[in-house]
Amino acid sequence: MRPGIALIGLLVCLLVGMGTVCSGGPAEAATTERIVVNRFSGVAIEGFDPVAYFVDGQPVQGTAEFEANLWGAVWRFRNEGNRASFLAHPEVYGPQFGGYDPADIARGVTVAGNPRFFVISAQRLYLFSREDNRNAFAADPERFLYEVGKRWPALQEQLSQ
């Protein structure tokens, strides 16, 4: 294929918005910056089961067999029970701030959280970009959440819709 034709094809896909003409593969949800997802697959939190953090107290990899599409992201679970729990209460089980690190949000920037660095505080899941951020948050979550509350609305507006 000639480079010019390939470029035209790419532009058509972009103009169509990555809709049915260019989609394919198992993940049908569009990626979004409001939720941290893999930009190629649309899978949230690297495929870890968000309910497992509460049930098992640790990150557990979900499978493509148990998926749900919500908030423009594909969520994976290790079993149907966890999937059902998430769909019944996504505001509880989904990572707060779309999976962005609240310690970084408190500083005024959006940095994707790493699903391996997490804290459950006040029955909510928080993901962190670094272990140091997790430890600082865990020591004083109220202080961080106060700062996040001031900065998150403006930062969220900057993220694509």
pLDDT > 90: percent of the chain: 75
106-141, pLDDT tens digit by residue? 999 999 999 999 999 999 999 999 999 999 999 999
Is residue 159 pLDDT above 90, yes or no? no
Predicted pLDDT of residue 12: 35
- Tally of domains in the chain: 1
pLDDT on residue 30: 30
Domain presence at residue 50: yes
In degrees, rounded to 5, the angle at the alpha carbon of residue 62 between the alpha carbons of residues 60 and 124 is 60
pLDDT range class, residue 86, cuts 50, 70, 90: very high
Half-sphere exposure of 136 (CA within 13 A, CB side): 15
Structural domain contains residue 34: yes
Q: Is residue 114 part of a domain?
A: yes
pLDDT at 99 > cutoff 90: yes
Residue 5 forms part of a structural domain: no
Alpha-carbon distance of 133 to 73, in angstroms, equals: 25
Residue 74 domain boundaries? 25-158
In a domain, residue 131? The reply is yes
37: Cβ–Cβ under 8 A, 6 or more apart, which residues? Answer: 29, 31, 43, 44, 72, 73, 74
∠ Cα 105 86 102 (to 5°) = 10
Residue 75 lies in a domain: yes
| Per-residue pLDDT, 116 | 98
Query: Mean pLDDT over residues 45-69, rounded?
Result: 98
- CA–CA separation, 161 and 155 (whole Å): 12
